[in-house]
A and B are shown apart, each in its own frame.
Chain A
Amino acid sequence: MAVISVRNLTKTYHVGEVAVHALRGVSLEIEKGEFVAVVGPSGSGKSTLMHILGCLDSPTSGEYFLDGADVSHLSDDELSEVRNHKIGFVFQGFNLLPRTSALENVELPLLYNAGSLSATERRRRAMEALAAVGLRDRAEHHPNQLSGGQQQRVAIARALMNRPSILLADEPTGNLDSRTSIEVLDIFQSLREERGITIVLITHEPSVAEYGSRIVAFKDGRIVSDTPNLRQRVARGELAEMPIAREDA
């Protein structure tokens, strides 16, 4: 069964008199463990799709099944729970809480988890997640004390806190240099391999899309091609050939 199944999704924004058709009938099935790269020019509706897939926004029309359950008609509270349990977000601008330590940022999803955990248990899990992205020794740092790459890894750690079914990443490398971009992509690839996490990566750069296992091309709110990536790039291998970056020294 598909983790994500959408049919004929449309999204229309009304700006004054003008109707902007951001999505014009998108149908897509994503299986568990896929690493789907959605690629397309800016303004083609990729982010709009991601917001709908992430239950942050609702479509104008169309159906959306997440883990087999219809989520098109859920209440605001129910959508919050879905986001908390099943979805992890990684954004271009990191979206970490300012003036808040990395550890506390990572803990955030646990605060809103129905089965409330003790403070020590939350801390322990957050620490574990930080360690998994190699930031154990940066736990007390605030976002402004971290590099872009480190911030994005904190965001990834946060996205994984509640063991989501899917990880949605909107231009996660948009604010990063080439090496740290590949490091982030390496994390995605290993998450998929080691934990079988389903990943939807959104990017306007075809070169970044090449790290996905399947490439969905977008244009003007429609899918123009959807093919398995037979020449998937492997971030780990590329990193090994690169010189050691200063930031991790």
Chain B
Amino acid sequence: MRAIRPSLMIALRALRRNKLQTALTMIGITIGVATVLTMIALGSGAESAIEDQVRAAGMNTIIVTAGNYKTKTEDSGSAVEEQGRIAPRVEFVPAVWRNPQGAGPLMPLFRPVFHPEDDPMEKHDHPTASQRLGDTEAGLGAAATLTSADADAIRKISGVQYVSEGIHNNAHVAWGAKRWFTRLHGDDVSLPLIRRAWVFEHGRFFSKREQSHAAQVVVLGSIVSQRLFGAENPVGKQVSIYKQPFEVVGVVASGSWLVAAAPGDDQFDAIYVPFTTIQRLLNLSKLNDITITTSSSGEVSRISQQITDLLRARHRIGVKDPDDFTVTSQARQALAKGGMLPQVARSVVGNIAGLEKVTLEQLGKTLDRASRTMTALLASVAAVSLLVGGIGIMNIMLLSVTERTREIGIRRAVGAKANDVLRQFLMEAVALSVTGGLAGIAIGLAVSNIIGQWVQWSVSISALAVALSFGIAAMVGIFFGYYPARQASRIAPIDALRYE
């Protein structure tokens, strides 16, 4: 590989001499490479966006709920609807409020689990808790059969990605004179990993440390934050829940265009505190539910079955006895109950026969179509630009060979071999295309980002994509530069030297 560096220097010097020509020749390559990079960025962006949307819709989620309010059946969708009709109960639950400092006398009190929303005379501008889908059933009065030990056992099942332990209730959140009645979720730190399409408008989720200390910290859903604080940043403020002070550490909102936050929804008209804090405040040791995500959506059924077997064994349930828990996968619930923008849900549902068989791949395919069309379009633009750019390079190199025949003769006279000449001209062609390619990479990065901002299309540019674009530019240079370079190397030394 001798003389690579000198050939490169010779090549670069030759390009510097004809700056305008060089620039004009590079334009085709620049456009081509920019298009390639944009194409990859948008394509893989679309891929990961679809994946995120699908995860956001909960396609890989399994929920284990304490208690069994239905006969054992796979038809969880209709159960959801039935659940919505269950009448709210009024119960008195003995609870012990501890002094938050941990000192001082314990103050026993009775707390009514009477929801103001349950007052038939009250008008609500959002669905009441009982109309909400999900786990109304799993109020504190429901069969409390799940424990943290169950959750730990589920964590050990292979294919399980994240496990979050949950306690759910309704609660008033108050800040100053403002009050808002909403869902209270006692959850695990890993919840944001399960709800992949969460974005934190302010602050953060509570930490592992806060969870293990059962700290009185709260993350507000965006709807709650808006009701209590308007546009203000609530992080650091003290709100009161169950008459206890809680520090707001974050505000969570939907990061997905498939999932819109609305009053009454279970995710963003809600507040989140560590489940340990609720267990401490309410003196509980049980859980309402355990939410599990699987690494692969195809494994939802298998893992659901494994969880069922595991929990039956752990709870020592006889062969003929019914489960004391309910395992549902969220795929169908998510599609049936909304949470997606209606038009998206409609198109997904409309495109998929047999809702029961909804799979990640099927949902993906539907959403994939648009990005594929775009990729095909960009690919043809890229191909044409690269072809035109390549021909431009070939043209200028052929001209260059003619113009510099004398130079070739001089080099041959002082000992350059045919291959040295070939390499020099090839190197020049590659230098041209690669310089054009670098400009194309810069433009491609800018364009992808602009498109990403402008149409809210998520773009992802990997180092590999950049390397690939660079490689394509180099390949174009080699491919289209080879013929002129070979012509140059084939001129007999004496003819080259005598060329006028």
List residues of chain A with CB under 8 Å of any chain B CB.
51, 54, 56-57, 76-77, 79-81, 83-85, 89, 95-100, 108-109, 111-114, 116, 119, 158, 161-162
Contact = CB atoms under 8 A, between A and B. Distances in A.
Interface stretch (B214-222, B261-269, B353-361, B405-413): B405-413
Contacts of B5: 119
B493 interface: yes
B494 A56 contact: yes
A54 B17 contact: no
A112 B420 contact: yes
B104 interface: no
A30 B394 CA distance: 47
A99 B17 contact: yes
B463 interface: no
A77 B2 CA distance: 15
Contact of A76 (B407, B410, B411, B418): B418
A81 B410 CA distance: 14
Given A56-B493, A111-B3, A116-B3, A89 B418 contact: no
Contacts of A57: 492-494
Contact of A97 (B6, B407, B417): B407
B370 interface: no
Interface in B1-59: 2-3, 5-6, 13, 17
Given A80-B412, A97-B407, A97-B410, A112 B417 contact: yes
Contacts of B103: none
Contacts of B494: 51, 56-57
B414 A109 contact: yes
B3 A89 contact: no
Contacts of B153: none
Contact of B497 (A95, A113, A114): A95
Contacts of B419: 77
A77 B416 contact: no
A6 B420 CA distance: 30
B415 interface: yes
Given A99-B17, A112-B420, A84 B414 contact: yes
Interface in B101-160: none
A83 B407 contact: no
Contact of B3 (A51, A56, A109, A112): A112
Contact of A80 (B3, B6, B17, B417): B417
Given A97-B407, A99-B17, A108 B414 contact: yes
Nearest to B419: A77
Contacts of A79: 493
Interface string B483-500: 000000000111001000
Interface in B434-485: none
B408 to A, nearest CB: 11
Nearest to B415: A84
Contacts of B409: 95
Given A54-B413, A80-B416, 20 more contacts: A56-B412, A56-B413, A56-B494, A57-B492, A76-B417, A79-B493, A80-B415, A80-B418, A84-B415, A95-B409, A95-B497, A98-B407, A108-B410, A108-B414, A111-B6, A112-B415, A112-B417, A114-B2, A119-B5, A161-B414
Interface residues of B, number: 24
Interface centre among A77, A80, A89, A119 (most CB of B within 10 A): A80
A161 B415 CA distance: 11
| A-B interface, 5 closest residue pairs, ranked by CB to CB distance from nearest | A84-B415, A112-B415, A109-B414, A57-B494, A80-B417
A119 B409 CA distance: 23
Contact of B2 (A56, A80, A84, A116): A116
B17 to A, nearest CB: 6
Interface centre among A97, A100, A112 (most CB of B within 10 A): A112
A1 B15 CA distance: 48
A199 B474 CA distance: 46
B411 A112 contact: yes
Interface centre among A56, A96, A111, A116 (most CB of B within 10 A): A111
21 contacts: A51-B494, A56-B413, A56-B494, A57-B494, A76-B417, A77-B418, A77-B419, A80-B412, A80-B415, A80-B416, A83-B413, A84-B414, A89-B413, A99-B17, A108-B410, A111-B6, A112-B415, A113-B415, A158-B414, A161-B414, A162-B415
Given A56-B493, A99-B17, A83 B414 contact: yes
Nearest to B497: A56
Interface centre among B417, B418, B420, B492 (most CB of A within 10 A): B417
Nearest to B407: A97
B417 A95 contact: no
B415 to A, nearest CB: 2
Contacts of B418: 76-77, 80
A3 to B, nearest CB: 18
A54 B411 CA distance: 14
Contacts of B415: 80-81, 83-85, 109, 112-113, 162
Contacts of B406: 95
A170 to B, nearest CB: 10
A139 B230 CA distance: 75
Interface in B381-424: 406-407, 409-420
Contacts of A119: 5
B384 to A, nearest CB: 35
Given A51-B494, A56-B493, A57-B494, A112 B414 contact: yes
A96 B497 CA distance: 11
Contacts of B411: 108, 112
A95 B410 contact: yes
Nearest to A161: B414
Contacts of A56: 412-413, 493-494, 497
Nearest to B14: A99
Contacts of A108: 410-411, 414
Nearest to A162: B415
Interface centre among A81, A83, A85, A96 (most CB of B within 10 A): A83
